[in-house]
């Protein structure tokens, strides 16, 4: 004896499967995303520039998905 699904059940099942596939792809894409930021700190000889480089290093060491360039 075969169990047959009604048309609304088939549509609902299809929509659920599509939603699961979209969700899995969304998570996979966002887990590989890297954020790039620029930090404007003034002259390269100044103290604020050195501090900016230190901040960029600490941020990148604690969260490799964030890259900070000091300009």
**Considering the entire predicted model, what is its pTM?**
0.58
At 50 the pLDDT is: 92
Distance CA 65, CA 32 (A): 8
Nearest one of 67, 63, 62, 40 to 51, comparing CA atoms: 40
DSSP string, 10-46: HHHHHHHHHHHHHHHHHHHHHHT--EEEEE--S-TTS
- What are the structure tokens assigned to 63, written together? 């969260």
CA angle 32, 37, 42 (to 5 degrees): 160
Residue-by-residue pLDDT tens, the chain, 71 positions: 677 889 898 999 999 999 999 999 998 888 888 889 999 988 989 899 999 999 999 999 999 889 999 98
């Amino acid at each position: 004896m075969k169990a047959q699904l009604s048309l609304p059940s088939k549509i609902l099942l299809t929509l659920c499967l599509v939603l699961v596939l979209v969700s899995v792809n969304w998570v996979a894409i966002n887990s590989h995303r890297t954020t790039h930021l620029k930090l404007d700190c003034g002259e390269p000889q100044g103290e604020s520039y050195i501090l900016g480089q230190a901040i960029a290093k600490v941020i990148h060491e604690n969260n490799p998905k964030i890259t900070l360039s000091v300009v």
